[in-house]
A and B are shown apart, each in its own frame.
Chain A
Amino acid sequence: MASKSNPHNNSALQVHSLSVFYGDKPALWEIDFELKQGKKIGILGPNGSGKSTLMKTIMGLIKPASGYVKILGEPLSNVRSKIAYVPQKESVDWDFPITVKEVVQMGRYKPNKLFGRLSKLDKELATKALEQLKISDLADRHIAQLSGGQQQRVFLARAICQEADIYFMDEPFTGVDAATEETIIGIIDELAAEGKTIIMVHHDLNSAQEYFDHIVMLNTRLICCGSTAEVYNQENIKSAFGSQLTILSEIGNKINELNYPVREAGESDS
């Protein structure tokens, strides 16, 4: 496993000594791994193992208690335009007054163009993304009229038209129909063929072997990180899904309760 050394040239994501204490849920404990570009990577772990917490921390939505993250060898704020994020579809109110097309076009909203209108190119890319996800016919629908699978396609289309280098997806297969799952897999393969990196939180062990060429297993602490052939074995699966380390989550709760520093003062990690 890569230690805190120089960033590699083709590094997609480096996570260094990342610890998160987050409400009453299990925390992340000293997570440390590195992922290369151009791979399809699955982050696996049982419910409450901190998969989504890890992803939200990487996206800068949760502040870690210690440790840091580098994307493409740089801090997140420098590379925002090169990453796309597909949140869990439960994270928004699907009754919001907005159409499918408008949501997808939000993928083209750029911070440096806060006031400007969308360009012709922006609109074309959004239209193309709608076609890729096979939801062009739903473009003018209100989002409340969509099925779960269609909602997920909308979120994916929004990410696709960002034209990013790295795609972070939080459980895109949850609550979708078989046809949507197939479409999403097709898109992911296409992106990977273009050399893009896909990092996905996934909960289904059975399909993981087939979908990913690289796997990170997580259960509050890091279980393993490596190519699917290397790490997808009974031993790792058992330690990821078998039992949770209750002492870790106990001490995590304690730290959170006391607002206690994980590391003693003066010991920096970046």
Chain B
Amino acid sequence: MRDFIEFISLSNPTVKIVLIGVVLISLSSSLVGNFAFLRKRAMLGDAISHSVFPGVCLSFIVSGEKDPLMILIYSIVTGLIAMFLIDVIGRHKKVKVETAIGIVLSIFFGLGIMLISYIQGNLGDAQSGLQHFFFGQAAAMSREDVQVFLYCSIIIAGTIILFYKGLKQVSFDREHAIATGQPVVLLEIVLSILTVMAIAIGINAVGVILMAALLITPASTARLWTNRLFPMMVIAAILSVVSAIGGAFISYKYSGMPTGPWVVVLLSIMAFGSILFSPKRGALSRVIARKRLERKILKENILKTLFKLQEADKEQTSGFSLQEINCLKAFDGRALERGLKWLQQEKSTQIKNNKWTLTASGNQIGKRITRVHRLWELYLTNKVKLDIDHVHPSAESLEHIITPEIERMLQEELNFPDKDPHNKLIP
């Protein structure tokens, strides 16, 4: 804990540079990543990040030094050329966009490797540092680097806020945006430049290979937690900042631990966590929902069975034993007792001398389930024209999900019947 406070207080100047740099990088890529994700351009980010690499090498060959601004400019240029090529190739009838992405990615990355070999062979040791762009090297960030990151982040965030409405419209319904006369081409060019810019600074921290994760993972994780764009962007930003701080801290605390890859690992952990635990869309909440439904079905089945027992035997008022209930409908023994206990707590059933009876509220539910069951059977025989021996299994399962609205529609459709196809009274 003390380590963390010391780390986050930015008292150490090197830590300060790295931390600010990584946070700015993560934040920028998560911002543009939202639109890449929503426009289904996830793989494009991967292609661009491989394509800015030859730009990094070129800037070094031309200027002979590692100047962050020059690197940025050259990588934006090669990145945009790659994006343009993907667009042109992808528009060809016989080539799909993902093919175009694959082609351009390998050509540009190959070119980058050629250039870096040339630098290593001909320009001597001064090249040390260029390989960092493969895997990223946050620790090597300089004050000048971080300054460039800051300007880029301001440009990216500012432009997205300024064009927010337009970007939202283009991402949701591009054709409608064109039809209403929005400057769609302009918006798309702006978005492309921002994306390439975010990638060009991002490879400093995580390298070309992991860059796509920094771009797409925050947005796709945030999407699991909300159904609205603005909150999604806020959540994505928070996730990216948290993982950036976490990654930088792990690298600070433990020797030999790289920052960038740890940022990606933390992002991935949050992504998997969200897949498991997010409300509605998460795996866990689906398991809980299913358990809840199973419980509801068991309870309703018990109430219905008790109702039918009472219906068949008007004089018997002292209640029914477990065996009698099981005779009419076979329950798993433990389940029946468990269900009856729950129902007793809910005051739907009561027990006297080991015999179970329905309370008034339990009777209501049992009656409704029986009614819905018989209505559905009648509907299947009369309207769907199923044979009478085919209708029971369907009714047995659907009686639990038929809503009062559907029940009403059934009654109207069947003209408020009083007998089901087995000639039993519809209660």
Which residues of A does B touch, CB under 8 Å? 23, 56, 59-61, 77, 80-81, 83-85, 87, 91-93, 96-99, 102-103, 106-107, 109-111, 114-115, 142, 144, 158, 162
Contact = CB atoms under 8 A, between A and B. Distances in A.
Given A96-B171, A111-B181, A111-B182, A87 B229 contact: no
Interface string B195-210: 0000000000000000
Nearest to A115: B162
Given A106-B169, A109-B169, A162-B180, 17 more contacts: A80-B180, A83-B179, A85-B176, A92-B173, A96-B38, A96-B171, A97-B227, A98-B172, A98-B227, A99-B227, A106-B172, A109-B166, A111-B181, A111-B183, A114-B163, A115-B162, A158-B176
A80 B181 contact: yes
Contacts of B232: 97
**Ordered nearest first, which 9 A-B pairs have the shortest CB separation?**
A80-B181, A142-B227, A85-B179, A111-B181, A59-B179, A92-B173, A97-B229, A96-B172, A97-B232
B93 A23 contact: yes
B310 interface: no
Nearest to B173: A92
A144 B232 CA distance: 16
A158 B229 CA distance: 18
B228 interface: yes
Interface residues of B, number: 27
Contacts of A99: 227-228
A93 B166 CA distance: 17
Contacts of A107: 180
A59 B178 contact: yes
Nearest to B34: A97
Interface string B134-163: 000000000000000000000000000011
B373 interface: no
A109 B182 contact: yes
Contacts of B299: none
Contacts of B2: none
Given A97-B229, A142-B227, A61 B172 contact: no
Contacts of B183: 111, 114
B367 interface: no
Nearest to B179: A85
Nearest to B233: A97
B165 interface: yes
A98 B168 contact: yes
Nearest to A24: B93
B226 interface: yes
A59 B165 CA distance: 22
B176 A87 contact: yes
Nearest to A80: B181
27 contacts: A60-B179, A61-B175, A61-B178, A80-B181, A83-B179, A84-B180, A85-B179, A85-B180, A87-B176, A96-B171, A96-B172, A96-B229, A97-B38, A97-B226, A98-B172, A98-B228, A102-B229, A106-B168, A109-B177, A109-B182, A110-B180, A111-B180, A111-B183, A114-B166, A114-B183, A158-B176, A162-B180
A59 B178 CA distance: 8
Nearest to B186: A114
A174 B43 CA distance: 33
A150 B173 CA distance: 17
Given A59-B178, A87-B173, A109 B165 contact: yes
Contacts of A80: 179-181
A77 B180 CA distance: 10
A98 B179 CA distance: 20
Contacts of B171: 96
A97 B223 contact: yes
A169 to B, nearest CB: 12
Contacts of B165: 109, 114-115
A84 B176 CA distance: 9
A23 B93 CA distance: 7
A109 B172 CA distance: 13
Among A81, A111, A158, A162, find the residue whose CB has the most chain B CB atoms closer than 10 A: A111
Contacts of B163: 114-115
A81 B163 CA distance: 20
Nearest to B231: A97
A35 B27 CA distance: 53
Interface in B34-49: 38, 40
Given A97-B38, A98-B229, A77 B173 contact: no
Contacts of B93: 23
A35 to B, nearest CB: 18
Nearest to A88: B175
B420 to A, nearest CB: 29
Contacts of A56: 175
